[in-house]
Chain A
Amino acid sequence: MNWPALLLSLKLSAWTVVWLLPLGILVARQIAWRDFPGRAWVEAAVALPLVLPPTVLGYYMLSVFGAATPIGQAWQSAFGRPLAFSFDGLLLASILFNIPFAVQPMQRAFQSIPREVREAAWCSGMSHWRTFLMIEFPLAWPGIVSALVLTFAHTMGEFGVVLMMGGNIPGETQTIAIAIYDRVQAFDEHGAAAMSSLLLAFSLLAIGAVYVLANRVGRPRE
């Protein structure tokens, strides 16, 4: 068992979730409730990582964030470390790649809240922030949890983007999915099997939890 790779995957997943919780809620609420020009294109952009081969996303990320690009150089001078082939780059790739997994369940959860319920909150004197905390967030909570569990599990298993953007640096950017690939390449059947079974069990648990929550969300409220 490659413990450093497993720990790195867990760390990457956790940070991806931490970033996508507020970002996802922000985007999901806008798409769920606001009607603005180009909304369909925003939704399409959110869904894009679902259909895009991970290598394509990885390629574009390297061309935008690579060490020779302006953004890559700005990052290097600001933080003293490169963006590509580092944990930071890995995290950025992971956040972008997980946007649909985070946003779509949240969007559905927010859409299921009747507009009148939010209006009733405003007419009860609640500020928009208080309405979010007391009404929207609790009502969307099962959807938000689904989004976070999906994001976490998907990050644990992500391979293509992680390999393209992070390379395969043990202890720095080698995640468990890449480590499994490494073990198979090295004919270490035993090591690959142990890690694969762990990932399989974890994924099954995560998806199971999502379905349990989704059933709760789907139940009529009123």
Chain B
Amino acid sequence: MSSQTGLEVGLRQVAPIPLAARFGCEAGELLALVGPSGSGKTTILRCIAGLNHPGEGTVSCAGAAWLDTARGINLAPQRRSVGIVFQHYALFPHLSAQKNVEAAMAHVAAGERAGRARDLLQLVHLSGLEGRRPLQLSGGQQQRVALARALARDPAVLLLDEPFSAVDRVTRRRLQRELAQLRARIRVPIVLVTHDLDEARALADRMVILWRGETLQEGPTAQLMARPATAQVARLLDQNNLFEGRVAAQRPDESKTLLAWLGYTLEAVHAPAFGVGDAVSWMIPPECVILHRRDRPSAGENENPVSGVIRECVPLGETTSVALDIDAPAAVPLAMSLLTHHARRNRLAVGDRVRVTLLASGIHLMPPAEFSSARAADKSAWRE
């Protein structure tokens, strides 16, 4: 991979934090580095900015090498054209918003700085607050000043380190929307570090999944969420419906793979990588589990029908989260989500016996999980 406008990163080190990361980000693209705490997201961002120095690796942006340990290149942060928004913003507390932004404009003629800074503050909706110091601004306003300061340098890459984590939910939504709008105006690679999957899903074009400093998978956000490469990535993406099964048959002419699971034979999208009899991990997103109506049968009920008993039924605003215990020798939980009014109409209650369809298009097969006991550890890592 090499790019004249994008960012290319390859990092490797053993200590103090193990790193084995490789990814790229094109101009105008927003790439999310996603992983639980301790996965090295922030360290990688700092390596791009030149604030951390990895054991070995390369960082290049718009064709210029910023770091190349093999060639002895390691530019100081001042010489890397980065704009960075720190998690806690790191504004200069003794300077006004205007002066904070102007401070990053050494490359601009002195006479033009004030006007440019005002324009940038207007871009982030802070007109009228130029004279305020950081302490006189709200968290959301501070974040905007930090963004304006990051843009003031006319950076070749924009780095955002958990930029929305320190503000309340309403402000976060607004800031996220503003970032999405801002992207149309800045054609540089944007790298966003986050542990919030929803945030990554909402904002990113592509995602890099990190685990203990290692790139597990990189890809377009939607594809990665629906088709994780391994059970571990699926777990890191908070996919709860993750099971073990066996390939029962391959039907390439029908574009189907048949999956044997707990005595059921499920149809799945054709997965030619696996042979008949292979053990596999498989997942299905909760939204691909469809409840059968009790009053009358409807079309599509012949697709992978499975029955079970409702173990949990929790309305969460517009959607209701339902967990079933599938009928099987050992009760296996299956999660699904449906619209709350739908759940009410069906009068779902704990203990009810229901039938559901597992949409074949939602079933995704992966190589068998290496160690299923890691599951608990992986999940708890997210809870910080």
Kindly name the residue among A122, A134, A221 whose own CB sees the greatest number of chain B CB atoms within 10 A: A122
**B51 in the interface, Cβ–Cβ < 8 Å?**
yes
**B152 in the interface, Cβ–Cβ < 8 Å?**
yes
Of A119, A134, A138, A222, which contacts B77 at CB under 8 A? A119
**A123 in the interface, Cβ–Cβ < 8 Å?**
yes
A222 touches B78 (CB 8 A): no
Complex Cα distance, B105 from A134, in Å, reads 13
Residues of A within 8 A of B80 (CB): 123
A120 touches B76 (CB 8 A): no
User: In the complex, how many angstroms separate the beta carbon of B185 from the nearest chain A beta carbon?
Assistant: 20
Residues of A within 8 A of B92 (CB): 117, 120-121, 134-135
A124 touches B152 (CB 8 A): yes
Kindly name the residue among B50, B82, B94, B107 whose own CB sees the greatest number of chain A CB atoms within 10 A: B94
**A127 in the interface, Cβ–Cβ < 8 Å?**
yes
Complex Cα distance, B83 from A127, in Å, reads 15
Complex Cα distance, B93 from A139, in Å, reads 8
Of B90, B103, B150, which contacts A119 at CB under 8 A? B90
Complex Cα distance, B152 from A117, in Å, reads 16
**Chain B positions 261 through 276: 1 when the CB is less than 8 Å from some CB of chain A, otherwise 0:** 0000000000000000
A119 touches B88 (CB 8 A): no
B103 touches A139 (CB 8 A): no
**B86 in the interface, Cβ–Cβ < 8 Å?**
yes
User: In the complex, how many angstroms separate the beta carbon of A70 from the nearest chain B beta carbon?
Assistant: 42
**A125 in the interface, Cβ–Cβ < 8 Å?**
yes
Complex Cα distance, B103 from A135, in Å, reads 10
> In the complex, which residue of chain A has the Cβ closest to the Cβ of B76?
A122
Residues of B within 8 A of A120 (CB): 84, 86, 90-92, 149
Q: Mostly helix, strand, loop or mixed at chain B's interface?
A: loop
Complex Cα distance, B382 from A129, in Å, reads 41
Residues of A within 8 A of B153 (CB): 123-125
A123 touches B77 (CB 8 A): yes
Of B78, B82, B103, B149, which contacts A127 at CB under 8 A? B78
Of A116, A126, A127, A138, which contacts B90 at CB under 8 A? A116
A134 touches B78 (CB 8 A): no
**A80 in the interface, Cβ–Cβ < 8 Å?**
no
**Chain A positions 78 through 91: 1 when the CB is less than 8 Å from some CB of chain B, otherwise 0:** 00000000000000
B78 touches A138 (CB 8 A): no
**B106 in the interface, Cβ–Cβ < 8 Å?**
yes
B78 touches A122 (CB 8 A): yes
Of A116, A127, A139, A221, which contacts B86 at CB under 8 A? A116
**A22 in the interface, Cβ–Cβ < 8 Å?**
no
Residues of B within 8 A of A221 (CB): 93, 135
> In the complex, which residue of chain A has the Cβ closest to the Cβ of B104?
A124
Residues of A within 8 A of B51 (CB): 119, 122-123
A125 touches B104 (CB 8 A): yes
Complex Cα distance, B150 from A100, in Å, reads 39
Q: A124-B104, A125-B153, A130-B106 are in contact. List 13 more A-B contacts (CB 8 A).
A: A117-B90, A119-B77, A120-B86, A120-B90, A120-B91, A122-B50, A123-B80, A125-B104, A126-B103, A134-B103, A221-B135, A222-B88, A222-B135
Show 26 residue pairs from A and B whose CB-CB distance is below 8 angstroms, ordered by the A residue: A116-B88, A117-B91, A119-B51, A119-B77, A119-B86, A119-B90, A120-B84, A120-B90, A122-B51, A122-B78, A123-B150, A124-B106, A125-B104, A125-B107, A125-B153, A126-B104, A126-B106, A127-B78, A130-B106, A134-B92, A135-B92, A139-B93, A139-B94, A221-B93, A222-B93, A222-B134
Q: Which 8 residue pairs of A and B lie closest in terms of their CB atoms, listed nearest first?
A: A124-B104, A116-B90, A120-B90, A122-B77, A221-B93, A123-B84, A117-B90, A116-B86
